[in-house]
Structure 1
Amino acid sequence: MGTPGFPRHTLDSEGLPVWIRDLASDDPNHSLHVVRDMGPVRALEALRVEPASIRQCVLPDRKPNRYTSLPAAGFGDDTGDAATLLAGRLWPWTFVYDDLGYTFDGTADVLSRGGRQAVTTLYTINGHASLHYAVDGKEIVEVVFDELSLDERLPGMPAELAAAFEAAGIADWEDLEPGEVDSLIGMRVACAMAGAVLTLDDLRDMHLVVAQRNSGD
């Protein structure tokens, strides 16, 4: 099926958007949120980070090791077990990348309050992947990708989400059975929804903010 919304240079060989690959640690357990009509600082605050911890971020040239994400390295402190959240604006959308996936449960509902749209997607180290789409504080669609049949689900999705799935397409994985989707599709769907067809150089040209949150916060 291919990935019609993503030029080849914007995806890695597995079908992950290159800007996410370049941010992530090796073997990541991470999540991505996109929300319309909410700025990056407000989005981080909605995800219950300490407002005083939010700071501007200049991404470093490289990751210090395979276990540390680029945003964590850019945060500048000893990160310990805290997740690092990087946020930036893609008018009218904002993205928040969570390098440990701590901000996932109910996040789309929270971000979408006040008449907004939000998508949140998770990819775990063991390959579990899912996506939630919410409008005005209410979840509209939940998709678990290892149970997904696009032929069955797309006709019942809101038009804007169905269009994002169509733009995301299916990555060229040799072990996929007919009708199966790759487990990285959620990252592409969220990016397609927000127009986040980017490279790391594009991110470096943006105003970025970063904060940290512990798993229990």
Structure 2
Amino acid sequence: MPEPAFPAAALDPEGRPAWITELGAEDPHQIVHLVRDLQPREALEALGARLAHARPCTLPEERADEHSSLPRTALGETDCASALLAGRIGGWTFVFDDAGHTDSVSNEQGGLESAALALSRTGGAALSLAHNFDGPCCGLEFAEDGAEVLWTNSDDLEGSLPELPDRIREAVAAAGIVEQDHLDPGELDEEAVIRTGCVLAGITGWTSADVRAAELVLVPFG
């Protein structure tokens, strides 16, 4: 596997996109949703957020503490289930959920479906990138036009490569490997799943400065 096809400053030492690292807590349990063809407030509404509680946001320079995300620090509330931060950079809207409570949403039939599927029903593409401290380290769901294209996690990605479509395998190759002491040489690191999602969205060059320069919307959830 090659080195990740990301600019040198775009990744932290663990291979995670640095803009995600800056937003999250030190021990993250979070989801980042990415969607085309939806504006930030529309994406928040699709995820079940109450827009009456939404407000413009300027991110602080530092987290309140190691257990708090930057959005939760900006929100100043600790009793909500999640702090959701949304913005748009280029052709993609992101929604950062600092506690991972928007993994699924209610559908018109009264059941639940994944957030990526719901967001992609606009006719565009959507991805959900998850960090979990109580399961597989990282997860990825990719959907287009309301249909699942890929669901995988850091435990399953490498073993499933032979069966994946060419464009997914090409994205995994571009995501590359960041060597870690606890892994064998050449073994996919956990964050390769997150980098693969960024490659599929074409956002390998996003930086923390890009996020801070965007018009950001913040809302408590749950």
Q: TM-score, normalised by structure 1?
A: 0.88
Which blocks of at least 5 consecutive residues in structure 1 are unaligned?
none
Structure 1 letter corresponding to 2:77: D
Q: Distance in 2 between matches of 1:23 and 1:73?
A: 10
SS of the residue 1:27 aligns to? coil
Q: CA deviation at 1:178?
A: 5.8
> Equivalent residue for 2:139?
130
Q: Show the 5 A alignment for 1:134-149.
A: 134-149=143-158
Identity of aligned residues (%): 37
Q: Distance in 2 between matches of 1:29 and 1:182?
A: 18
Q: CA deviation at 1:23?
A: 0.9
**Equivalent position to 1:164, from 163, 171, 191:** 171
Confirm or deny that 1:176 pairs with 2:174.
no
Q: Deviation digits for residues 12-40 of structure 1, max 9, x if unmatched?
A: 11101111111111111011111111111
Structure 1 letter corresponding to 2:149: I
Runs of 4+ in 1 over 6 A off after TM superposition: none
> Equivalent residue for 2:108?
none
Confirm or deny that 1:17 pairs with 2:17.
yes
Confirm or deny that 1:188 pairs with 2:195.
yes
Q: CA deviation at 1:154?
A: 5.9
> Equivalent residue for 2:63?
63
Structure 1 letter corresponding to 2:119: L
Q: Show the 5 A alignment for 1:1-217.
A: 1-75=1-75, 77-105=76-104, 106-126=114-134, 128=136, 129-149=138-158, 152-153=160-161, 156-157=164-165, 159=167, 161-177=168-184, 180-194=187-201, 195=203, 197-214=205-222
SS of the residue 1:86 aligns to? strand
- Tell whether the 8 Å contact from 2:37 to 2:92 is kept in structure 1 after alignment: yes
Q: Distance in 1 between matches of 2:2 and 2:99?
A: 28
Q: Distance in 2 between matches of 1:25 and 1:173?
A: 21
| Distance verdict in 2 for CA 1:155–1:209, change over 3 Å | same
CA RMSD of aligned residues (A): 2.0
State the number of aligned residues.
211
Q: Distance in 2 between matches of 1:27 and 1:209?
A: 24
Q: Distance in 1 between matches of 2:211 and 2:44?
A: 18
